[in-house]
Amino acid sequence: MEIIHHENYLSITTALTDLNEPNPTYSLRRIRAELLAATKDGPTSPQCDFISFRPISPDNLFEMIGTIVGPIGSPYEGGLFHFHLRIPPLYPDLPPVCTCMTKIWHPNIGPYGEVCLNILQDEWSQALSVRTVLLSISALLGDTGMAVEGGNAAYGFANVDAGEMLLENRAAFELAASDWTIIMID
């Protein structure tokens, strides 16, 4: 993850240096502030050592890649999970659209990477950020029971098969999630 943090730091600083917008929108100013906060401690001392994010291109701060390390003690331990975050023009009034780019066996992440998380739907707040979205997804990976205990009560499972397996046989679910993670590492 240290290499990812360093690469993302360089990508963010390049994007912020190249940004030459004479009248930036509120959304752009907010994204810049979030990126500046992510780099304030330098590449070797990120705000969180288990998540990182950067713009896909220095020309477009509205498309980002987020990386999450699989939480220790979870079936996802040892995995690196990449998420595409598309920031809408009305951000932070609207949440980012978040898609998992890494294959994963999880009730809240659908077969095409769609992420089902309450803060990405009706519980979004302007106080939240790209960083808090990634922290929330990391928490979801660390405690798959959150998918059952209210994380998905209103929406159903994004991955119905994973959700049913979790409800019927948690041990089998955790073995399957761990196996998927191992396959993605190799």
Catalytic residue among 48, 98, 100, 116: 116
Edge-to-edge strand list for the sheet holding 80-86: 51-57, 60-69, 80-86, 97-100
Distance, in Å, from the CA atom of 69 to the CA atom of 36, rounded to the nearest integer, reads: 22
> Catalytic site residue 116?
yes
Mean predicted confidence (pLDDT) in 38-62 = 81
- Judge whether residue 150 has pLDDT over 60: no
Tens digits of per-residue pLDDT, 97-143?
Answer: 999 999 999 999 999 999 999 999 889 999 999 999 999 999 999 98
**Domains in the chain, please, with CATH?**
1-183 (3.10.110.10)
